[in-house]
Amino acid sequence: MLRGNAPMRAADGRPTNMLSPNSYAAATVTELLREAAHGRIGIDQRWVRAIVGRGGEAVPELVRYGLEAPADAPVDLEDDIIAMLRHLRDPRSLDYFVEVIRRHPDELSDDLNLAVPEFQERAVEPLLKVYGELEEDMAGEVAFLLAALGSRGVRDARILQVLLDRLEYDMREGALCLGLYGDPAALPALEKLLAEEPEDGDLQFAIRELKDSDPAPVPEEEWEIWSAYPEVRSPDFSVMSEPERLALLKSGPEEDRAAAAYSFFNEAASEEAFATLLEAAREDESPRVRGRAWEAVGSLTDQLVIDGELASRAKDPQVPLEERLGALVGWASRDGGKDFDRTAKELYQIPEGRAKALEAMWRSLDRSYADYFIRHLEDPDSEVQRMAIRGVGYCQVRGEVNHLKEFFEDEDVREDALFAYAMAAPADPTPSRMRALFNKIDAEASLSDDERELVALALDERMLLAGKERVFFTDDDEESE
């Protein structure tokens, strides 16, 4: 069995032990932050509770780490530290918040914008100091923070003057700030401008706000941190080294071992990694881990002996379902012929296995499975639906392309639909046609930056499947990273 306390070495070669959730309580806050910043533990509710559960004792370490976080840490924890400090409501957090504002005054997070006004008068001096250090074109968000203090009952002549100055610099921004600040002393300046611009809606709005303002401070909003974090999240394998992932595969908790195994799926891996994955597939105590390891093993080698093992595991009804399904996915890209087809259809009939069976079908790139994907495009099971959408894309079921476009408005499956549409939309696999299709999807779906990358990856995948070179992410791009 692949269990025990195998020692692990970090990317820099230093010996370390992977922190499991059971050991969070014994770790320092700094250790918990450092390990999360290097992707070695998942940023989830267990991690947050292990930190904020210490109350005020956690604040000095949170602030110190936030101020001194290594520039080369692959995971940026700034937003997480802000959220935890906001949750703890400790006066010592203000210094960190102000330093974050100073570092990037034009990109303040929602948590920061909501946390700082809660400090009321204590925030006035440091915010005014930061504002005075900035050029006018960079100081707009700090001005809004100063204005937000007014909703907490703060009145300070220096803040009012700053906001009146913003009114001269940018009438719309200044009017909004003065309306938010709520000091009727700003009315003469606003009314003077309104006389010159009687139709200006921003000035009219600010004046109404000031005339109707309630001098009582707005009570602090109820806020809880937990909805921002999943209950459980695996470590970030995308930033972990191969030795770190293998160490976790050997000795981590079940969910992390399974995720570590799958992190090698369709990825370049060393002989040591392949041997470790094969051992996990054959011997790990968990069917879930064995299934994920078989998926990775099947994607990493074309050895015929592995074909036989994948087939025998997938076909054997005595093997646990999770392991059978993983072996089926690993077998999918390896010309399993009628045996594969028969096994895939058998496992498809099991409701708990349907999503993975559909995944195996589309990974086989066999278009004879098109009807299976079509019948599940509106499936109430979200994972089954996602696999059906992917199947329409990979098997280029052209008759369902317009159906895919309907999913662009569904946030739960939008990314899957964009990927599938890029794979299936009519277009010859040539560089010019792929670029044209990219522009078409971008225009039709109003892609975000992340979605543009996703669509580009799909179009490159389409070129590779056609036996041609990628268009968007070339080998030269990979070598330069």
What amino acid is encoded at 390 in this protein? R
Average pLDDT of the residues of the chain: 90
Residue 35 inside a domain? The answer is yes
8 backbone dihedrals φ, ψ, rounded to 5°: -125, 150
Report the Cα 86 to chain-centroid distance in Å.
Answer: 21
Judge whether 10 lies within some domain. no
- Domain shared by 338 and 272, yes or no: yes
pLDDT 10s digits, 82-121: 999 999 999 999 999 999 999 999 999 999 999 999 999 9
Looking at the structure, do residues 308 and 391 belong to the same domain, yes or no? no
Whether 38 and 163 map to the same domain: the answer is yes
- Do 49 and 114 sit in the same domain of this protein? yes
Rounded distance between C-alpha atoms, residue 280 and residue 261, angstroms: 8
Instruction: Tell me phi and psi for residue 9, to 5 degrees.
Output: -120, 135
Q: How many CA atoms lie within 13 A of 188 on its CB side?
A: 2
347, 364, 381 - which closes a domain: 364
The vertex-69 CA angle with 66 and 71, nearest 5°, equals 140
- In this structure, the answer to whether residues 113 and 77 fall within a common structural domain is yes
Please state, in angstroms and rounded to a whole number, the distance separating the CA atoms of residues 476 and 12: 27
227 within some domain: no
Which pLDDT band, with edges at 50, 70 and 90, does 398 fall under?
A: very high
Cβ(284)–Cβ(296) under 8 Å? Answer: no
For the chain, first and last CA: distance in Å?
A: 37
Give the CATH number, domain containing residue 128.
1.25.10.20
**Residue 366 pLDDT class (50, 70, 90 cuts):** very high
Is 70 exceeded by the pLDDT of residue 6? no
Which domain does 470 fall in, by range?
367-481
Q: Which of 54-63, 246-255, 458-467 has the lowest mean pLDDT?
A: 246-255
How many structural domains compose the chain? 3
Q: Is there a single domain that holds both residue 399 and residue 472?
A: yes
- What's the pLDDT band for 194 if we cut at 50, 70, 90? confident
Domain co-membership, 268 together with 340: yes
Give a yes or no: residue 467 inside a domain: yes
- How much is the pLDDT for 237? 93
Residue whose entry in the numeric block shows the structure tokens 């600010």: 206
> What are the residue ranges of helices labelled H in 56-117?
59-68, 78-88, 94-103, 110-115
178: number of Cβ within 10 Å: 27
Task: Judge if 21 and 170 occupy the same domain.
Answer: yes
Give a yes or no: residue 225 inside a domain.
no
The Cα-based distances of 145 to 12, 138, 181, 319, 467 in angstroms read 41, 13, 10, 60, 55
Element (H, E) at 8: strand 8-9
> Quick check: is 229 in a domain?
no
**pLDDT at residue 47 in the model:** 97
Maximum alpha-carbon separation in the chain? 86
Asked if residue 48 and residue 128 are part of one domain, the reply reads yes
Q: Are 289 and 204 in the same domain?
A: no
Say how far apart CA 297 and CA 278 lie, in whole Å: 6
> Is residue 4 one of the residues assigned to a domain?
no
Section 158-180 average pLDDT: 93
Residue 30 within a domain = yes
Indicate whether 479 pLDDT > 50: no
How many Å apart are CA 120 and CA 101, to the nearest integer?
16
Taking alpha carbons only, the member of 157, 207, 201 closest to residue 182 is 207
Instruction: Give the pLDDT score at 480.
Output: 46
Same domain, residue pair 91 and 193? yes
pLDDT tens, residue by residue, 426-470 = 999 999 999 999 999 999 999 999 999 999 999 999 999 999 999
Residue where a domain terminates, one of 315, 345, 364: 364
Query: 302 with 288, same domain?
Result: yes
Closest CA to 14 of 250, 244, 276, 237: 244
Cα separation values, 456 from 33, 408, 418, 474, 477, Å = 34, 16, 10, 11, 13
**pLDDT above 70 (res 169):** yes
